[in-house]
Amino acid sequence: MTRFSGLNLFAKALGGHKGWAEQWPDAVPKPAYDAIIIGGGGHGLGAAYYLAKKYGINNVAVLEKGWIGGGNTGRNTTIIRSNYLYDESAHLYDHAVKLWDGLSQELNYNVMYSKRGVMMLAHNVHDVQSLQRHIHANRLNGVDNEWLTPQEAKAYCPPLSISPQARHPVLGAALQRRGGTARHDSVAWGYARGAAALGVDIIQNCAVTGVRRGVDGAVEGVETSRGYIASKRVGVSAAGNSSVIMQMAGLDFPLESYPLQALVSEPVKPTFPCVVMSNTVHAYMSQSDKGELVIGAGTDQYVSYSQRGALHIIEHTLAAICEIFPIYRRMRMLRTWGGIVDVTPDRSPILGKTPVTGLYVNCGWGTGGFKATPGAGDLLAYTMAKDEPHPINAPYNLDRFRNGRLIDEAAAAAVAH
Amino acid sequence: MILIHCPYCDEKRPEIEFANAGQAHVVRPVDPSTYDDAQWEAFLFIRANPRGRHHERWRHIHGCGRFFNAVRDTVTDKFEATYKAGKPRR
């Protein structure tokens, strides 16, 4: 692996940038591995990276049915924050935010983590009370979050309309300054490159078609479109398709998969300095470094794997955006797309062991999994290496739907529900 | 936008007239006091989430207001059939 540096970049530039080696090899599956990760998104690649880096398990394969980062990792709106209400959530998401902080250096790959601040708007008295409760709970957990008056919110994000006559008046906002965005593709590529350098096989175009279990019930390996691969340790990190994989292992999971849409505008000069979210009216927006406004919409109301989503969902979001940011009313939208998100009944992820020996899971992140990418990878790796959950992800077990210890996190989804 | 056939109105209407009401044919406990934790978990939380043929409930909320059942393919979103509540599973 070529280490990226200023000097290296300069030297390669002299050769017209023709001397770069491939960043990681497109591996062919071996008959057996010490561990297999199903799902080559940021979470799965991160888990493989940390398995090799922190726990010395290098004989690992990441199986991806399409291409690396082509699922939800490349389809989200790249928002990073940790301002969640409950203690368990604050610990989980802040663990990830702390890892985001040094990730570019750790991977020697620029993931463009930009702490531009995430501002959540309050449009009514209930929003004000709810956001202030979040702020207090966050600060008790050591997570930064502060209250802004409408004028302060306007100063932080000038395109915001705080007119009292507005359709959605702004009564205040909660601002997490450490929140922000990152380049989602870079996260997948950085982890893939880092993991491959440590000996992990990144196998694309390899769909899992079955999970083989032995007479004792434990996992023995997986059937794939490229043949059978043996492993006594299998981690599932397959986002919207997690319940499909679990069905192959004979497990029913409390998951439902929905299309979630996003869209970008034509690129314009920098006008939008932060991330603004309005859960009440379904509007989430930031501006990418390319200049596109990146807009997140809500989920469709029905279970689907179509990766499309209906137009009226986007119309609803754009109507809200036009009211809150009137300056953008004449912007033209360039592209829209959808990803399939797996939603749990309490809107919190399932991250830990399963009833099947040797089968581990990282799923249920719903509409907000990108921000947790480094944390989820790290914790899945820990759980697979030690065969027990880390204290941070211990509450996120599957048993909670049986014993009732739900983590009922309304803030977990970026959509009101 | 998807067009959905309401079996009561006997008309194809746009999706925004309807509310999805989750998986169909989930049977309520006949004698809830006898249910153990595993049965409650299955009833409350475990849902079919198939890639393919899916049975679900819809309500014609901006029309006749009635619930009905549907079979839809979750990959293509194409409806195979809609039928009145209480009719046997297709």
Q: What is the reported pLDDT for A412? A: 59
Q: What is the reported pLDDT for B89? A: 94
- The answer to whether A344 and A364 have CB atoms below 8 angstroms apart is yes
What is the token pair recorded at B30? 């006949």
Å between A86 CA and nearest CA of chain B: 21
Q: What is the reported pLDDT for A417? A: 39
- Please identify which residue in the block is written with the tokens 């470094």: A289
Q: Please name the helix (run of DSSP H) or strand (run of DSSP E) that holds residue A221, with its range, or none.
A: strand A219-224
Answer whether A257 touches B (CB < 8 Å): yes
Structural domains of chain B, with CATH: 3-84 (3.30.2270.10)
Residues of B within 8 A of A304 (CB-CB) are 74-75, 77
CB atoms within 10 A of CB A196: 23
- Write down the pTM of the prediction: 0.95
Cross-chain residue pair A401–B74, CB shorter than 8 Å: no
Å between B30 CA and nearest CA of chain A: 20
Longest dimension (CA), chain B: 44
Any bridge partners for residue B10, and if so which? none
- The answer to whether A345 and B43 have CB atoms below 8 angstroms apart is no
Which whole-number Å values give the CA distances from A85 to A2, A6, A93, A146, in the listed order?
42, 42, 11, 14
Q: How far apart are CA A56 and CA A2, in angstroms?
A: 22
Q: What is the reported pLDDT for A107? A: 97
Cross-chain residue pair B51–A244, CB shorter than 8 Å: yes
Helix residue spans in A84-124 (DSSP H): 87-101, 103-107
Query: E strands, A87-198, where?
Result: 118-122, 146-148, 172-176, 180-181
Residues of A within 8 A of B41 (CB-CB) are 254, 401-402
In this structure, the dihedral spanned by the alpha carbons of residues A301, A274, A410 and B19, taken in order and rounded to 10 degrees, is -20
Q: What is the reported pLDDT for A411? A: 63
Residue A293 phi, psi (nearest 5):
-75, 125
Q: Please name the helix (run of DSSP H) or strand (run of DSSP E) that holds residue A222, with its range, or none.
A: strand A219-224
Any bridge partners for residue A148, and if so which? A173
Chain B interface disruption, residue of A258, A302, A405, most B CBs within 10 A? A302
Cross-chain residue pair B47–A256, CB shorter than 8 Å: yes
Residues of A within 8 A of B77 (CB-CB) are 302, 304, 306, 308
ipTM, two decimals? 0.96
What number of CA atoms fall less than 13 Å from residue A283's CA on the CB side?
Answer: 21
Burial bucket for residue A368 (CB in 10 Å: 0-12, 13-18, 19+): buried
Chain B interface disruption, residue of A242, A305, A350, most B CBs within 10 A? A305
Q: How far apart are CA A384 and CA A393, in angstroms?
A: 12
B62-87 average pLDDT score:
97
Nearest to B75 among A256, A305, A311 (CB): A305
Burial bucket for residue A157 (CB in 10 Å: 0-12, 13-18, 19+): buried
What is the token pair recorded at A370? 């990108």
- Please identify which residue in the block is written with the tokens 């398995």: A51
Q: What is the reported pLDDT for B70? A: 98
Å between A345 CA and nearest CA of chain B: 6
Q: What is the reported pLDDT for A409? A: 87
Q: How far apart are CA A352 and CA A374, in angstroms?
A: 16
Number of inter-chain CB pairs under 8 A, A vs B: 60
β-pair type (A60-63, A35-38):
parallel
CA A347 remoteness from chain centre: 14
Q: What is the pLDDT along chain A (417 residues), one digit of tens a residue?
A: 788 999 999 999 999 999 898 999 999 999 999 999 999 999 999 999 999 999 999 999 999 999 999 999 999 999 999 999 999 999 999 999 999 999 999 999 999 999 999 999 999 999 999 999 999 999 999 999 999 999 999 999 999 999 999 999 999 999 999 999 999 999 999 999 999 999 999 999 999 999 999 999 999 999 999 999 999 999 999 999 999 999 999 999 999 999 999 999 999 999 999 999 998 888 899 999 999 999 999 999 999 999 999 999 999 999 999 999 999 999 999 999 999 999 999 999 999 999 999 999 999 999 999 999 999 999 999 999 999 999 999 999 999 999 999 999 876 554 443
Q: What is the reported pLDDT for A414? A: 44
